[in-house]
Amino acid sequence: MTMAADPGRGVVGRRTLMAAVGALAGLAGWFLIEELPGLVDGDRLVLFLTAAAGAFFFALLAASGALAMRAALAVSALVSVGPAALLTWASLRYDAVDDFLATGHPLVAFGLVVCLSLPFLVVAFRPEERWRSYPALFRQSWDIAVRYAAAWIFTGAFWVVLYLSDALLDLVGLEIIRDILDIEVMPPVLTGAALGLALAVVAELADYISPFLILRLLRLLMPVVLLVTLVFLGALPFRGLSALFGGLSAAAVLLAMGVGIATLITAVIDREDAEAASTGVLRLSAQVLALTLPLLSGLALYAVWLRVADYGWSPDRVAAACAGAVGMGYGVLYSAAVVVRRDWMERVRRANIAMALAVIALAALWLTPLLNAEAVSARSQVSRYASGKVPAEALDLWFIGRDLGRAGDAALDRLRAVGDGDDALAERMARLETAASRWDFESADRETTATETANGLLAEILATVAVVPSDRSLDPALLAGAALPQLRTWQAACRRETPVGNPGCVVMFADLLPDSAGDEAVLFTMNAAGVVSLNALDAGNFSALRYLRGVPADLSAATLDRVIDGDVAITQPALRSLDLGGVEVLILP
């Protein structure tokens, strides 16, 4: 008599294996990030191994629920080595790997290649399914997302329980858990083990933990999104494009909305007609939203084009343009499917497969010289200067020389050749070489701009101000030390006129301090309300003067006319003072 295999033993074995794989993933991550950089002399080797290991374990943990371990290992190897090699190749755009990773775009492209390729490979390794089978691809894609989401929730709960357990044991003086966690390698190993165990359990409960509940909930959002989109498009002619694209985030909002619409449409049509939304409202909403998708994508591309026209290309704008092109691809295919009407849901499903492959290809191209965003941006900035569209003073040299890697260095060399003889460019290039930060580099530009602005304001004031007596001239040194806000106030005053046409600013020279040699200078300025203020001028030092008599009545514009006409008398004030040993106290009436 033969004994039947114990199903419980198989479950324990699978769970143990997945927990071990997760623990190994955590150990590998800790070693590659914390230890390997100190053991090898090569940042790019570390980058390749880290990226390959990350993609490998991500795919292995995800594919193990759908494939046997041997097939899952093969899929993981395929999805990790190639993209990691592309990422490492792309890192050659920068001298330092850290500068390359700080841009963010390569990591997004790498993630897209890995995540979008994985369902295709999993389905391809299942003998009963074709790699282009939409129902299989749909199920695998959503299964991976839901399994990982559930597993991470469990992992978070695991750490909450672990910390609470540590706190409980600490009440009786036991620090066993804390001592374990103090071992540097243990947190990532425990996290990986918990994640792997959770994924194993979720795979066992595939019939209970499925994406169908999420898909049904997403469908409920369809009418709301349709209403918002129609209101937006309906208000656009009245609002105007200039108001729409006044901010920096217009393209990002439009693209994000496009992603949301495509996701909702996919949720409505499901993996086959039998499981698609049955209500006419949801299906009609999906069709109308499909028709709006090209409009939103077109507006996003237009927003990007406006920014490029104003400022040239940058890696962010290249990425936005690529995202807009992808959105337009979805929009055109979805709209065509709806317009044809017959089997429109099946046509949308085929469009999803085609666009997923297109995104994989585009993301892979981003990591090759064929789509080098830094080189595109560098050429754009040089072209703007060479064509005369942007002067040397307006070039963002810090962005070119410090943010675009080796392409930026080459662009600086081209700028030196193109701008030979441009003193402003040469001076800013020299500052760029020594500047420690963008603030340091741009502070000199700000000082130069402020000086030029101050000189322009001072020149206008000197050309406009009335001087009394008329045979005197105003020494620019008396105003040269004024701050920009003060100069702007005086400039505004000089542009005004009194009722008889005199300028709203007057400088009067008079011997107001008998104990001091020479005349003193007083500047009269009129504000927009016609009220006159006084300032004493003394070689760049300015002090506001108070009126000792007649305080309740403001000086009016007529005061300026009297000063210009010479209707001013210098009198001896009727004041006495107390001399308190070098300190003179005035008694004001």
pLDDT tens track of the chain, all 589 residues? 344 445 556 788 889 999 999 999 999 999 999 999 888 888 999 999 999 999 999 999 999 888 888 999 999 999 999 999 999 999 999 999 999 999 999 999 999 999 999 999 999 998 888 888 999 999 999 999 999 999 999 999 999 999 999 999 989 888 899 999 999 999 999 999 999 999 999 888 877 777 888 888 889 999 999 999 999 888 887 766 655 665 447 888 889 999 999 999 999 999 898 888 888 899 999 999 999 999 999 999 998 998 898 889 999 999 999 999 999 999 999 999 999 988 899 999 999 999 999 999 999 999 999 999 999 999 999 999 998 888 888 888 999 999 999 999 999 999 999 888 888 888 888 888 888 888 877 776 666 666 667 788 888 888 999 998 888 888 888 887 787 778 888 888 999 888 888 999 999 888 877 767 778 888 888 888 788 888 888 754 555 555 544 443 467 788 888 888 888 777 766 666 666 555 666 665 5
Cβ neighbours of residue 508 under 8 Å, at least 6 residues apart?
468, 521, 522, 524, 563, 568
**For the chain, what percentages of helix, strand and coil (3-state, to nearest 5) are there?**
70, 5, 25
374, 408 Cβ separation under 8 angstroms: yes
Alpha-carbon gap, residue 260 to 297, rounded angstroms: 12
| Rounded CA separation 510/60 (Å) | 91
Give φ, ψ of 240 to 5 degrees. 95, 150
C-beta separation of 325 from 301 below 8 A:
yes
- Strands 584-586 and 541-544 turn out to be unpaired
Dihedral (Cα; 85, 87, 89, 92), 10-degree rounding: -150
Q: Give the C-alpha separation, 331 to 301, whole Å.
A: 13
Spatial separation of the C-alpha atoms in residues 463 and 457, rounded to whole Å: 10
- For the beta carbon of residue 184, count every other beta carbon within 10 angstroms: 10
Structural domain spans, the chain: 12-210, 215-371, 373-434, 454-569
